[in-house]
Structure 1
Amino acid sequence: MAAKMSKSDYVKNEIKASALDLIGNTPIVALDRLYTGPGRILVKCEFMNPGASIKCRSALKMIKRARESGELKPGDPIIEKTSGNQGCGLAVVCAVLGHPATLAMSRGNSIQRVIHIEALGAKCIRVPQVEGTYGSVTFADGQAVEKEVMKIVEETGAYYVNQFSNKANAQAHYDSTGPEIWKQTGHHTDVFVATVGTAGTFAGTSKYLKEKNPKLLAYVVEPAGSEPIKGEPITKPLHLLQGSGYGRIPDLFNYEYMDGTVSVTDDEAVKYMKLIGEKEGLFVGYTSGANVAAAVKLLESGQVPKDSWIVTILNDTGLKYTPVPKEML
């Protein structure tokens, strides 16, 4: 029988010790077929994380931070509210570290996320919608999920991850996403663009990149009609950008690192989601389409220098979504 490998052997043989070592260090791809310039759109392929989204980064950081602080003991159960991606990320981390996980999400979020979460050994609770419809989840729907989560916390004492207010969420992106982008672009990043759900990705990444390049411009992408960060009244709480545009300014958001906002319609998000597939061979979700739509808008409108390199995020795989009926567009 072969001897058990040491940690140095793992490095030497390039064998990963667990799925946790697959989180981060995702590649950046140039969308030169979709957008031919001037300027350039570069995308970080976060769907390549083991939970198939960028949320694996924050999941790992939040759980590790809780374990280090002693708030979460080995084997303790965790609970979290999620639109699905954070739940998948937490399910990956908890499977490896041995924490029973319960994830609560709205029935409006795609069923594929439930399948993914439960395939990783976690429990998924689907909470009935208050005002949304399948494929479109509102702030009120999210509040219903939170109410269910807090009830379970009170009954069981499970550790509540609380991604929307957990500073380790943003720190994950300051520690990893930002530095990776800066290194991978050869320190050539002029503009950063991202949709906002918890605001962890935008807050952490934009802070790091602006520290490296004070002239960098950072833009928030908001669904048309649900633009609280821009300061507009909410006129369209129902939209396709699951996991973003909840109709409130997130606790983790910081205006200090934002230079402006870009509004994207459902039709624009769908258009670019399809173009990313048809032109670049990458099947991604609606917020990824919105990010790329926003990048194109910034370059074509002249809001940023025409030769800018814009970096944005492909947040998750398109396999997490059920096709949405045309009447919802």
Structure 2
Amino acid sequence: MAPVDGIDNEIKSSALELIGNTPIVALDRIHPGPGRILAKCEFMNPGASVKCRSSLHMIRKAKEFGELQPGQPVVEITSGNQGCGLAVVCSVLGHPLTVTMSKGNSVQRALHMEALGAKCVRVPQVEGTYGKVTNADVQALEEVCTKIVEDTKAFYVNQFSNKGNSEAHYMTTGPEIWRQTGQHVDVFLACVGTAGTFAGTTKYLKEKNPKLLSFVVEPAGSEPIKGEPIKKPLHLLQGSGYGWIPDLFNYDDMDGTVSITDEEAVKYMELIGKKEGLYVGYTSGANVAAAVKLLESGRVPKDSWIVTTLSDTGLKYTPVPEELTK
């Protein structure tokens, strides 16, 4: 049957074309003003997180430069979101994917990756507890991942040091935000794990608006970027605040930091659901909490438009612990 004029143009060729171009939404019910909080809905990517963008870009670059051959296995360490993004990309492009993930990360992420054809090796924790993953836990993942690479000759993505990670956000997230806001962005902020989202997006936005202020969101008690000693390595912000300064982070991109407690993250995660109708994860709650805190603190002009990310869906997590909801 011949395509109807115009209709075939709406058909995407694969899930890869669903990555990026996420909508941006005003959180006016949580913060009616002055100022405005605008959130990029990254949970609407096909892997349900912001990490789909870097997954696609890093794999495409590896193929382009001959680092990844057709059908070659891919390996990565993950807290879950990068693994889900890579699972989307690798399933479409025909690369077997193995990820190592701490048993402290939510089991929903492992189920998600495996449903997309990936193999998830869940590594016992060294010092963390379920829902709270530390630097030592991540180091354990790297040891297992290195052994897999040696045994299988797989391509190691290495999101923490792969410049394609931040480049993805310089090329897509930043330009989308600039266009969607009508070139009106006063402040950008984000939680930092690998620093890919923060570094790439901030670099682009500061090129467009040199007066833009950018803030790193860190879990209270685990604030190495702020320069504080690590007092609380166990926190709820999975995939961020590991207790070290990421390779992709550059202090020249940052104007300050905002500390957010577990309780603040949970509070705003719940408010985003109950007031804005969006079910998101802990880092999303932390990002919005930080935006509110900045507007109320006077650290930014009171009429600022603050842009942040709703990094992933709340469906990737176990229920909020009862003691944090009281």
Q: Name the aligned partner's letter for residue 56 of structure 2.
A: L
Q: Which residue in 2 is equivalent to 1:224?
A: 220
Deviation per CA, 1:44-83, whole angstroms, max 9, x where unpaired?
0000000000000000000000000000011000000000
Q: Which residue in 2 is equivalent to 1:66?
A: 62
Contact 2:160–2:246 under 8 Å retained in 1: yes
Q: 1:37 aligns with which of 12, 33, 37?
A: 33
% of aligned pairs identical? 78
Q: Which residue in 2 is equivalent to 1:301?
A: 297
Q: Specify the SS of the correspondent of 1:140.
A: helix
Aligned residue pairs total 324
Q: Which residue in 1 is equivalent to 2:193?
A: 197
Q: 1:180 aligns with which of 168, 176, 183?
A: 176
Q: Which residue in 2 is equivalent to 1:86?
A: 82
Q: 1:28 aligns with which of 24, 27, 35?
A: 24
Deviation per CA, 1:264-323, whole angstroms, max 9, x where unpaired?
000000000000000000000000000000000000000000000000000000000001
2:170 corresponds to 1:170: no
Q: Name the aligned partner's letter for residue 266 of structure 1.
A: D
2:206 corresponds to 1:206: no
Deviation per CA, 1:114-139, whole angstroms, max 9, x where unpaired?
00000000100000000000000000
Distance 1:181 1:247, change over 3 A: same
Question: Distance in 2 between the 1:169 and 1:296 partners?
Answer: 28
Query: Gapped runs of 5+ residues in structure 1?
Result: none
Distance 1:41 1:174, change over 3 A: same
Q: 2:251 aligns with which of 229, 249, 255?
A: 255
Contact 1:135–1:324 under 8 Å retained in 2: no
Question: Distance in 2 between the 1:67 and 1:245 partners?
Answer: 31
Q: Name the aligned partner's letter for residue 316 of structure 1.
A: D
Q: Specify the SS of the correspondent of 2:32.
A: coil
Q: Specify the SS of the correspondent of 2:173.
A: helix
Deviation at 1:156, TM superposition (A): 1.3
Q: Which residue in 2 is equivalent to 1:14?
A: 10
Q: 1:265 aligns with which of 246, 255, 261?
A: 261
Q: Name the aligned partner's letter for residue 106 of structure 2.
A: S
Query: Gapped runs of 5+ residues in structure 2?
Result: none
Q: Which residue in 2 is equivalent to 1:292?
A: 288
Q: Which residue in 1 is equivalent to 2:115?
A: 119
2:144 corresponds to 1:148: yes
Structure 1 runs (4+) deviating above 6 angstroms are none
Question: Distance in 2 between the 1:319 and 1:24 partners?
Answer: 20
Q: Specify the SS of the correspondent of 2:38.
A: strand
| Aligned-CA RMSD value | 1.3
Q: Name the aligned partner's letter for residue 238 of structure 2.
A: Q
Deviation at 1:325, TM superposition (A): 2.9
Q: 2:124 aligns with which of 125, 128, 133?
A: 128
Deviation at 1:200, TM superposition (A): 0.1
Question: Distance in 1 between the 2:15 and 2:151 partners?
Answer: 31
The answer to which of 175-184 and 317-326 deviates more is 317-326
Q: Name the aligned partner's letter for residue 16 of structure 1.
A: K
Question: Distance in 1 between the 2:86 and 2:143 partners?
Answer: 20
Question: Distance in 2 between the 1:277 and 1:185 partners?
Answer: 23
Q: Specify the SS of the correspondent of 2:185.
A: coil
Q: Specify the SS of the correspondent of 2:31.
A: coil
Deviation at 1:155, TM superposition (A): 1.3
Q: Which residue in 1 is equivalent to 2:72?
A: 76
Q: Name the aligned partner's letter for residue 33 of structure 1.
A: R
Q: Which residue in 2 is equivalent to 1:315?
A: 311
Q: Name the aligned partner's letter for residue 179 of structure 1.
A: P
Q: Name the aligned partner's letter for residue 202 of structure 2.
A: S
Deviation per CA, 1:169-227, whole angstroms, max 9, x where unpaired?
00000000000000000000000010000000000000000000000000000000000
TM-score (structure 2 length as normaliser): 0.97
